[in-house]
Structure 1
Amino acid sequence: MSNNSLQEIVLAAPRGFCAGVDRAIDIVDRALEKFGAPVYVRHEIVHNTFVVADLKNRGAIFIEDLADVPAGATLVFSAHGVPKAVEEEAARRGFTVFDATCPLVTKVHVEVAKLHKEGFEFIMIGHKGHPEVEGTMGQLLDGIYLVEDVADVAHVSPKQTERLAVVTQTTLSVDDAALITEAVVARFPNIRKPKMQDICYATQNRQDAVKVLSNEVELVIVVGSPTSSNSNRLRDVAQRSGAQSYMVDNADELKEEWFEGVTRVGLTAGASAPDILVQQVIARMRALGAVSVRTLDGVEETIKFPLPKGLK
C-alpha cells in the first residue's frame, strides 16, 4: 500500500557522519588491516548499531572492561574518550593502543587537565552514564561535578568558588546547554567559560539544519541509534521546532501510519549514522509514495582529522 499524500522527501544538510566519527571508524578499519583480527575496542566505537555490527563481522571485539583484553592485544579507545585510569591500565598492561577519541573531546580533556593544575574545579554539563561524560570526568580523581539540567545547578556544591570552570559534553542540545550554562553563571558569577563552546561544530550544524528543516515539513525522521546522544537531540530539536519527529535505527523501523496525511517529510541522520541507512530510508519512503527528493542548502563541512601515528 502506498501513501498517496506523500510527495516529497526533504534532506537536511549537513547530516550523518562527522569528521570525528569518520576518523574513529577509519582507525578500527586500518588496525584490522594492519594487525589482523581480532582488534579489541573499548566501548562501541561510535553509537551506531549498523557500524558496530559491520566491524564485529570483520573481527573487532567490543569490550567494556580491559580485563577482557588478552595480553599483547591491539586495543582501540572509542570516539567518546576514556578516563585516565583506563589509559593508565592499558599502558601498564602493554597493549598496542590506538586512541580514536574525537579530537574535539580530547580538547576538553586537555583544558580540564590544564586548569586543574591551576587549582580549578569544574562543573560539567552532560548526561550521566554517557561514556563521553565518564571519560571527561575521569580525567580527574575529584573536583568535577555533573549537572544534567537546570534543577541540578542549585544542588551542586564545589569545595570553593574562586576557581571554577564549566565544561560540557560535545553532543548536547545547543539550546539546553545554553540554558543550563546561564543557570550555572547565575549561581557562580565568576565561573570561567570555555573560549569556544565545547559543543562540537557537527552537533551545532546538524541541530541548526534540523531547525530549518522543521519549518519546511510536517514530519521529521532522524536516522540514529537509541544510544546516540547527538541523534536523540536532533529528534528533540525537531519536536521543539514544531514538527512531529521519530528516530529510527534503520528503514525497517519506519511505520506506515506516521506518514498518513503527510505530504512532505524531512530526513536527517545523527553524526554516527552512515549514509547507506539514509539511502535505505529514502527507498522505503519512495515505496510509500514519495516522488521527489531535494536537499536543503546548509553549511558545508570540510574538517578532517589526521589518523594517529602508526596507522597512516
Structure 2
Amino acid sequence: MKIILAQPRGFCAGVVRAVETVEQALELYGAPVYVRHEIVHNQHVVDSLRRKGALFVEELDEVPANALVIFSAHGVARVVEDQARQRHLRVLDATCPLVSKVHNQGRQYAARGYRLILIGEPGHPEVLGTLGQIPAQVTVLLTVAQVEALEFAADTPLAYITQTTLSVDDTRQVVAALRRRYPQIVGPDTRDICYAVQNRQVAVRALSACVDLVLVVGSQKSANSVTLRDIAGESGIPSYLIADGRALRREWFDQRPTVGITAGASTPESMIDDVLAALARIAPLDITSLPGPEEQVQFRLPAGLIARQ
C-alpha cells in the first residue's frame, strides 16, 4: 500500500506551547496541576497528561483555593481570570498567542466604536473565550446566509474578527459577503487565520490531488481537524477523520488505494505512527512525504515557567 504523508501535519507551535506548559508545571511544582478545559482537543494528549498528574476541570470552583491552574490554548473570558484572582489561584495562561491576538483586535475595534462581528462556531471554547474578552456586544456568525440575515443599518460602523481554526476558503466567502453588504466594514485579512491551520489546509489540498483516499488523524472535537476532512472530501475522494489506528476499517483498503495521511494541529506524531502501524497490519507500506514548508515558529512559555535548556 502506498502512503503519502502531508507536510506540514500535526502539532502546531501553540499546541506545543500548551502541552509543554502542563508538562513543565508538573515538573516544577509537582502534581496535581489543574487545567481548565481540555488543554487541546485531543483525547490522547489529555489522557497522557492526566497520567502524569494533570487534573482537568470545566470550572474554577472545582479547583482548591491557592492551587495552580492552567488555562487551555483556546483562551478564557475575563470573568474566568477575575474568578481566579478572587480565589487566589496561581495561574499559568497557555492561551495560544494567535488567539490572544484576536482578543486584542476585538478590544481595539470595540474601543474605536465599531459594532463587532465574530466569524466563528457558536459554543466553541475559543469563541466563548473571545466573547468574554471583549467589553462590547459581539454578533457571532459562520455562514454567508447568516450575513444576509444581518439587520445592521447600511451605515453602521462594523468590524469583524475571526476564530483562528476555521476553513480559510469558507471564511474568505463570509468576509466577501460582509464586504458586499457593508462596504465600510473593516477587519483583518484572512491570512490572519492561524498560519498552521492555513498550512495544513494547503497541504491537504495538494495531498488530495494525488491519492485515492485521505485519512485525517485528529479529534471529532477539533475544528481544524474536521475542516481538513471536509476539504479532502471536496476533492471527491473518500476522507475519514480518525482518532487513531483502532478506527480504521479494513474494507476501506480492499483495492489497495494510494492513501494520504495528515493530522490536525492538536494531534501528536505518535498517533500518526499508530495509524501507520495499523495500516502495516493490512499490507506492506511504501511511505513517502509530499514537499511542504518546515514550520519554525516557536512561542515562549508563560511567565512562571523555566524553559527547558
Which TM class, normalised by the smaller chain length? over 0.9
Match for residue 102 of structure 1 among 83, 89, 96: 96
Whether 2:37 is the aligned partner of 1:43: answer yes
Q: Does 1:217 pair with 2:172?
A: no
- Aligned partners of 1:143 and 1:158 also within 8 Å: no
Matches within 5 A, 1:240-259: 240-259=234-253
* Residue number in structure 1 paired with 2:66: 72
Aligned partner of 2:22 in structure 1 is 28
Query: Which of 144, 148, 154 is the aligned partner of 2:148?
Result: 154
Give distance in 2, aligned partners of 1:161 and 1:226. Answer: 40
Counterpart Cα distance in 1 of 2:36 and 2:154:
35
Distance across 2 between alignment mates of 1:97 and 1:258? 46
AA in 1 matched with 2:65: A
**CA deviation map 1:168-205 (0-9, x unaligned):** 11000111111111111111111102156331000000
**d(CA) in 2 for partners of 1:290 and 1:161?**
63
Aligned-residue offset at 1:156: 3.0
Aligned partners of 2:153, 2:64: CA distance in 1, in Å?
41
Question: In the superposition, relative to structure 1, how do residues 209 and 226 fare at CA in structure 2: closer, same or farther (>3 Å)?
Answer: same
- Shift of the 197–85 alpha-carbon distance from structure 1 to 2, 3 Å rule, reads farther
State the distance in 1 between where 2:236 and 2:177 align. 26
Question: 2:55: which partner in 1?
Answer: 61
Partner of 1:4: none
Q: Quick one: which of 263, 267, 290 aligns to 1:269?
A: 263
8 A Cα contact 2:109 2:116, kept in partner: no
Counterparts of 1:62 and 1:186, CA distance in 2: 44
* 3-state SS of 2:159 partner: strand
Q: Which blocks of at least 5 consecutive residues in structure 2 are unaligned?
A: none
Q: Which amino acid aligns with 2:19?
A: I
State the distance in 1 between where 2:144 and 2:190 align.
21
Match of 1:85 among 59, 63, 79: 79
Report the CA distance between 1:141 and its aligned residue.
4.3
Q: Residue by residue, what CA displacement relative to the aligned partner does 1:2-37 show, whole Å, maximum 9, x if unpaired?
A: xxxxx2000000000000000000001111111111
TM-score w.r.t. the length of structure 1 is: 0.95
Hey, what does 2:232 align to over in structure 1? 238
**SS across alignment from 2:35:** strand
Alpha carbons of structure 1 residues 278 and 194: separation in structure 2 relative to 1, 3 Å: same
User: 254, 265, 289: which is aligned to 2:283?
Assistant: 289
Q: For residues 95 and 68 of structure 2, what CA distance do their matches in structure 1 show?
A: 16
* Partner residue of 1:127 out of 121, 129, 136: 121
Alpha-carbon contact 1:125-1:147 (below 8 Å) kept: yes
For residues 165-176 of structure 1, the aligned pairs below 5 Å read 165-176=159-170
Question: Any idea what SS the aligned residue of 2:25 has?
Answer: helix
Name which of 163, 186, 195 aligns with 1:192: 186
Counterparts in 2 of 1:159 and 1:229: CA distance versus 1, 3 Å: same
> After the TM superposition, which of the residue ranges 187-196 and 143-152 deviates more from structure 2?
187-196
Aligned to 2:172: 178
Determine if the alignment matches structure 1 residue 140 to structure 2 residue 137: no
Q: CA deviation at 1:206?
A: 0.3
> Contact 2:171 / 2:190 at 8 angstroms: preserved in 1?
no
Q: Does 1:306 align with 2:297?
A: no
Q: Structure 2: how far apart are the matches of 1:31 and 1:260?
A: 47
Distance across 2 between alignment mates of 1:114 and 1:27: 28
Contact 2:214–2:232, Cα closer than 8 Å, also in 1: yes
Aligned to 1:277, the other structure's residue is in SS state: helix
Identity of aligned residues (%): 49
- Residues 1:47 and 1:210: Cα distance change in structure 2 (over 3 Å): same
TM-score by length of 2: 0.96
Partner of 1:17: 11
Work out the number of aligned pairs and report it: 306
- What SS is found at the alignment partner of 2:9? coil
> 1:218, 1:262 within 8 Å by CA — same for their partners in 2?
no
Aligned residues: CA RMSD: 1.4
